[in-house]
C-alpha cells in the first residue's frame, strides 16, 4: 500500500535544544514559556529536524514544505527568520539553525525524542566523530537503531503535517498564477468586481485627469465613463450591477456620486461640505456608504456612514489627536461590520467596528505598518490585506479571531478585491525612489544621481565629516541600512545586519563610527516591538539599547555625542525623552507635547504636532519654545530638515512640489527651488558644511491591474 504516512504517526513530543516541540498543537515550550507557531513554521522545523546536522538545501526545503505551490527564496528566508525569532536564535552566532551560503540550512541543536526512546539517546551530528564503546553504556549500534526509528517517525510526521494545507493555501496558489488584466501606459487604479463577478470597474488615470473604465472579464472592449478634465476615483458597483458610485472632483468642487450605466445620469450623494475622502465603500444592500470624513477641526478624520438616499452623514468613529486618521473602510459581506485602518504613514493597524455601534471599534490585530486596502473572504473573515506588515508590500491573510497574518504572495499588490467566485483583482504597483546630490548654494547646478536602483531608497544622512552617506533601502529585499562613500566608485555597502529584523531611520554618532537606528522584527506572530540599536560601521555589530524601551520610533544622538533623544510611540505620535549616551540610564521624559516628528542640532530642538500646522522650535538645553509659522502639516510631517539656522521643507506649487528654506534666525522664508523631495519618509539631508543636499525622489510609478482566477468547479 502506497501513499503518505498517516497523521497518527506524528510524534507527540520531541526536544530540540532547550525547547520541547509539540507538532500536533504547533507549540514550543522553552525557557520563556510556551509559544504557538504557525503550522508552516512548524513544518520547516520538522523538516530540518528530520536530518539534524545535515545540510538541507533551499531547493529541498521549498519542494518539501511548499508542495504544489509556487514560492520564491524570499518566502523561505522569511520563514527561517520567523523560526529563528521563535527559538531566540541569532543567524550570526547560530545555536539552532546555521545558514550555509549558497547551500542551505542545517539544524545544529541536539534533537531527541521525549518519552519515546532512552533519554541518553542523542542524534549524532554529521561533524561528530564516532565515539568508542564505553562499558555500562548503550552500544552505539542500538543507539543508532533507536535514533533511526525516531527519525523515521519524525519524517512521517513531517510528511503528514505538510500535507495538511493552511487556511488560504488555495488562495496563495491562484495568486501565484495571476495574469495582467490591464497593461496600459496610463495608471489603472482601484479595481472592484461587479456583484456577479463578470466585470470590473477601475480608474484610468492620466496626469491630473482620470476616467472610470468598465471591463468585462471575457475580453470584450472596455467602456470609458466621463469626459476628460475631471478626477474620478474609487468606483464601486451597486447591488443591481447597473449603477456605480465614485468620487468626483472638478475645479473646486467634489462629491460622491451615483452614476447610472444605462442612462448616463449622475446624482450627487454627498458633497464637499462633508469632506469625504476619495476611497470609500458601499454597503452590500446599496443603502449606505462608509467614508473617511472629518468630524471635528484639528482632530483626525474618522469613518462616517452616509445614507445614499438622503445624503445624511452619521459619524461612526472619532479618533483622538495623535491616533491618526481612519482610512480605507470596507463593509463585511453581510453589511454588519466595517474594517478600516487607523494610524499615520508607516504605523497603521486594522480595526473593526459594528456599522451601528460606535463603541464597538477595536483593533483587529497588533500588526502595524504601511497599509493599502483590504477585502473580506466571508462575513467573519479572514481578510485579504495589502500591507508591508511582513517586511514588504504584499497580500497577507489576516485572521480576525487571532489577529495573526500570513503571507499570501503578490509582492507589490495594493487595494485587492475578491469576487463571489473567488477571483482576485488588485493593483500591481511598482515604486522606485533614488537619492540625488544637489548643491545647496547654487540652484542652477544640476543634481546628480547617487547609486540608483529599481527599488525604494530614502532616509539619507551625511556622516559627521561629510564624506559618507547612510540611507535605508530595500534594494536587496528587506529594508536595510547602506553606507556609500561620496565621490568614490562602486556601489554602497550594505551593513551585514541580522535578516530577522528591519532596520530604519539611521543617524550617525558624533564620532562617525556608529549609526543609531530602530529595528523592527520580521514576522507575523508578534506586535511590532521596536528597539533602538547602535550599529558599528562597517562591521554591522548590533547593540540593542533595551533601556530606551520597546516602542522606540526614533533615536537621535546630540551633536556632541552626550545625549540620546528618543521618540517613544504614543498612538501615532511620539513622546520625546532624553538619556545619557553610553549608559544604561532610563530616559527622562521631556516636558513637551506629543509630536509628529522631531529633529535637533547643537542649539535647538524642532518638532511638529499631529493635526496642527506649523512647527515649534525649542532652545537647548533650556527648552524655551516658540511657534514657527511654516507650511508643515500631517501631509509633510516626515519631509522636513533642520540644518543649522535653516528649515528645509517641501511646499505645494503649480506644476508640483518646490523645496523651501526658512531662516530660523531671521524668521522668514529665504528661498524656494524646484528640485524637491517626493519620496515617502525622511527624504532630505544636508552636509555638515551646509553646501550639499541629499534628496530622495520617486520616479513615476507603474501601476497595472492583475487578476487571479479561481479554479471553476
Pinpoint the residues of the chain covered by CATH 1.10.10.10: 7-162
Distance CA 535, CA 552 (A): 16
In the predicted model, what is the mean pLDDT of residues 627-637?
85
The distance in angstroms from the start CA to the end CA of the chain is 30
The answer to whether residue 577 scores a pLDDT higher than 60 is yes
Looking at residue 117, its pLDDT comes to 40
Looking at residue 582, its pLDDT comes to 92
Looking at residue 133, its pLDDT comes to 38
CA–CA distances in Å: residue 81 to residues 63, 120, 431, 501, 665 = 18, 31, 26, 8, 49
In the predicted model, what is the mean pLDDT of residues 82-106?
85
pLDDT band at 70 (very low <50, low <70, confident <90, very high): low
Pinpoint the residues of the chain covered by CATH 2.120.10.30: 169-430, 433-698
Looking at residue 691, its pLDDT comes to 94
Q: Where are the beta strands (DSSP E) in 631-690?
A: 641-643, 646-653, 656-663, 668-673, 684-686
Spatial CA neighbour of 374 closest among 350, 392, 355, 356: 350
The answer to whether residue 524 scores a pLDDT higher than 70 is no
The answer to whether residue 635 scores a pLDDT higher than 90 is no
In the predicted model, what is the mean pLDDT of residues 477-492?
90
The answer to whether residue 1 scores a pLDDT higher than 80 is no
Type and span of the H or E element at 80: helix 73-87
The answer to whether residue 126 scores a pLDDT higher than 80 is no
Hey, is 691 helix, strand or coil? coil
Helix, strand, coil shares of the chain, percent, nearest 5, are 10, 45, 45
The residue among 514 and 148 whose pLDDT is bigger is 514
Average pLDDT across the chain, whole number? 86
Looking at residue 583, its pLDDT comes to 93
Distance CA 4, CA 130 (A): 33
The residue among 62 and 303 whose pLDDT is bigger is 303
In the predicted model, what is the mean pLDDT of residues 570-583?
91
Distance CA 78, CA 529 (A): 17
Distance CA 424, CA 671 (A): 49
Which of these ranges, 116-125, 189-198, 349-358, 379-388, has the smallest mean pLDDT?
116-125
Distance CA 122, CA 151 (A): 11
Distance CA 381, CA 352 (A): 11
Sign of CA dihedral 22, 24, 25, 27: positive
Looking at residue 31, its pLDDT comes to 78
The answer to whether residue 554 scores a pLDDT higher than 90 is yes
Using an 8 Å Cβ cutoff, are 87 and 97 in contact? yes
Looking at residue 127, its pLDDT comes to 34
Hey, is 147 helix, strand or coil? helix
The residue among 226 and 467 whose pLDDT is bigger is 467
Instruction: Say which CATH topology domain 7-162 has.
Output: Arc Repressor Mutant, subunit A (1.10.10)
The answer to whether residue 19 scores a pLDDT higher than 70 is yes
The residue among 410 and 353 whose pLDDT is bigger is 353
In the predicted model, what is the mean pLDDT of residues 442-463?
93
The answer to whether residue 331 scores a pLDDT higher than 90 is yes
CA–CA distances in Å: residue 334 to residues 73, 233, 338, 425 = 39, 25, 10, 21
In the predicted model, what is the mean pLDDT of residues 399-424?
91
The CATH number of 433-698 is 2.120.10.30
In the predicted model, what is the mean pLDDT of residues 64-82?
73
The residue among 193 and 146 whose pLDDT is bigger is 193
Q: Which among 108-117, 132-141, 156-165 has the top mean pLDDT?
A: 108-117
Cell representation of residue 82: 520567523
Which of these ranges, 256-260, 503-507, 707-711, has the smallest mean pLDDT?
707-711
Looking at residue 118, its pLDDT comes to 36
Q: What percent of the chain has pLDDT over 70?
A: 88
Cell representation of residue 316: 461612526
pLDDT in tens, 139-189: 433 444 444 555 565 665 565 555 445 556 778 888 888 999 987 888 999
Q: Which among 103-117, 215-229, 580-594 has the top mean pLDDT?
A: 580-594
The answer to whether residue 578 scores a pLDDT higher than 70 is yes
The answer to whether residue 302 scores a pLDDT higher than 60 is yes
Q: How many CA atoms lie within 13 A of 404 on its CB side?
A: 12
Which of these ranges, 58-72, 298-312, 500-514, 547-561, has the smallest mean pLDDT?
58-72
In the predicted model, what is the mean pLDDT of residues 491-513?
92
Enter the pTM of the model.
0.69
* 3.40.50.720, 1.10.150.130, 2.120.10.30, 3.40.50.620: CATH of 169-430: 2.120.10.30
CA angle 661, 665, 666 (to 5 degrees): 75
The answer to whether residue 137 scores a pLDDT higher than 50 is no
Q: What percent of the chain has pLDDT over 90?
A: 55
The residue among 86 and 513 whose pLDDT is bigger is 513
Amino acid at each position: 500500500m502506497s501513499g503518505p504516512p498517516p497523521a497518527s504517526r506524528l510524534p507527540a513530543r520531541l526536544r530540540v535544544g532547550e525547547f520541547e516541540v509539540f507538532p500536533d498543537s504547533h507549540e514550543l515550550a522553552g525557557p520563556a514559556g510556551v509559544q504557538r507557531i504557525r503550522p508552516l513554521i512548524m513544518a520547516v522545523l520538522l523538516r530540518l529536524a528530520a536530518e539534524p546536522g545535515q545540510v538541507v538545501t533551499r531547493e529541498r526545503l521549498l519542494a518539501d514544505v511548499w508542495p504544489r505551490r509556487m514560492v520564491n527564496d524570499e518566502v523561505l528566508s522569511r520563514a527561517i527568520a520567523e523560526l529563528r525569532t521563535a527559538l531566540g536564535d541569532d543567524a550570526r552566532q547560530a545555536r539552532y539553525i546555521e545558514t550555509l551560503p549558497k547551500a542551505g540550512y542545517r539544524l545544529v541543536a541536539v534533537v531527541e525524542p521525549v518519552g519515546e526512546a532512552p533519554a541518553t539517546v542523542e542524534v549524532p551530528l554529521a561533524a561528530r566523530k564516532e565515539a568508542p564503546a564505553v562499558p555500562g553504556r548503550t552500544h552505539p549500534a542500538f543507539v543508532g537503531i533507536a535514533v533511526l526509528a525516531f527519525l523515521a517517525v519524525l519524517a512521517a510526521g513531517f510528511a503528514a503535517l505538510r500535507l495538511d494545507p493552511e487556511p488560504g493555501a488555495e488562495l496563495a496558489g491562484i495568486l501565484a498564477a495571476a495574469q495582467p488584466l490591464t497593461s496600459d501606459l496610463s495608471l489603472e487604479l482601484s479595481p472592484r468586481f461587479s456583484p456577479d463577478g463578470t466585470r470590473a470597474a477601475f480608474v484610468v488615470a492620466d496626469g491630473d485627469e482620470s476616467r472610470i473604465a468598465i471591463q468585462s472579464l471575457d475580453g470584450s472592449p472596455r467602456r470609458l465613463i466621463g469626459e476628460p478634465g475631471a478626477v474620478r476615483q474609487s468606483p464601486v458597483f451597486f447591488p443591481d450591477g447597473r449603477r456605480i458610485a465614485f468620487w468626483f472632483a472638478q475645479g473646486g468642487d467634489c462629491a460622491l456620486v451615483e452614476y447610472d450605466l444605462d442612462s448616463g445620469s449622475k446624482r450627487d450623494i454627498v458633497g464637499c461640505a462633508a469632506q469625504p475622502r476619495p476611497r470609500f465603500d458601499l454597503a452590500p444592500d446599496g443603502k449606505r456608504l462608509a467614508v473617511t470624513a472629518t468630524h471635528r477641526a484639528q482632530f483626525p478624520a474618522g469613518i462616517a456612514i452616509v445614507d445614499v438616499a438622503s445624503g445624511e452623514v452619521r459619524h461612526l468613529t472619532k479618533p483622538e489627536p495623535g491616533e491618526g486618521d481612519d482610512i480605507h473602510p470596507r463593509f463585511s459581506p453581510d453589511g454588519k461590520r466595517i474594517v478600516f485602518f487607523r494610524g499615520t504613514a508607516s504605523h497603521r493597524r486594522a480595526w473593526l467596528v459594528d456599522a451601528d455601534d460606535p463603541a464597538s471599534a477595536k483593533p483587529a490585530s497588533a500588526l502595524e505598518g504601511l497599509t493599502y486596502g483590504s477585502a473580506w473572504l466571508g462575513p467573519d473573515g479572514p481578510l485579504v490585506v495589502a500591507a508591508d506588515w511582513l517586511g514588504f508590500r504584499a497580500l497577507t491573510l489576516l485572521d480576525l479571531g487571532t489577529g495573526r497574518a500570513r503571507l499570501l504572495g503578490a509582492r507589490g499588490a495594493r487595494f485587492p478585491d475578491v469576487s463571489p467566485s473567488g477571483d482576485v483583482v488588485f493593483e500591481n504597483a511598482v515604486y522606485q525612489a533614488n537619492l540625488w546630490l544637489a548643491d545647496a548654494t547654487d540652484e542652477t547646478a544640476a543634481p546628480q544621481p547617487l547609486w540608483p536602483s529599481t527599488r525604494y531608497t530614502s532616509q539619507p544622512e551625511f556622516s559627521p565629516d561629510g564624506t559618507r552617506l547612510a540611507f535605508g533601502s530595500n534594494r536587496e529585499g528587506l529594508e536595510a541600512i547602506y553606507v556609500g562613500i561620496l565621490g568614490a566608485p562602486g556601489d554602497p555597502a550594505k551593513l551585514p545586519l541580522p535578516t530577522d529584523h528591519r532596520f530604519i531611520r539611521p543617524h550617525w554618532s558624533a564620532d562617525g563610527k556608529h549609526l543609531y537606528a530602530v529595528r523592527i522584527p520580521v514576522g507575523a506572530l508578534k506586535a511590532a516591538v521596536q528597539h533602538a540599536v547602535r550599529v558599528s560601521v562597517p562591521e554591522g555589530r548590533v547593540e540593542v539599547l533595551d533601556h530606551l524601551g520597546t516602542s522606540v520610533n526614533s533615536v537621535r544622538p546630540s551633536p556632541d555625542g552626550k545625549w540620546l533623544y528618543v521618540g517613544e510611540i504614543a498612538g501615532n505620535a511620539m513622546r520625546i525623552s532624553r538619556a545619557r549616551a553610553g549608559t544604561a540610564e532610563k530616559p527622562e521624559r521631556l516636558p513637551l507635547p506629543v509630536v509628529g516628528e522631531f529633529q535637533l542640532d547643537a542649539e535647538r530642538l524642532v518638532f511638529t504636532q499631529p493635526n496642527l500646522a506649523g512647527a515649534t522650535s525649542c532652545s537647548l538645553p533650556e527648552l524655551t519654545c516658540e511657534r514657527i509659522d511654516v507650511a508643515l502639516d500631517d501631509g509633510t510631517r516626515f519631509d522636513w530638515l533642520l540644518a543649522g539656522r535653516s528649515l528645509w521643507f517641501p511646499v505645494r506649487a503649480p506644476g508640483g512640489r518646490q523645496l523651501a528654506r526658512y531662516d530660523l534666525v531671521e524668521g522668514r522664508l529665504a528661498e524656494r527651488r524646484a528640485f524637491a523631495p517626493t519620496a515617502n519618509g525622511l527624504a532630505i539631508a544636508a552636509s555638515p558644511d551646509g553646501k550639499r543636499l541629499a534628496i530622495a525622489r520617486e520616479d513615476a510609478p507603474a501601476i497595472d491591474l492583475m487578476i487571479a482566477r479561481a479554479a471553476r468547479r
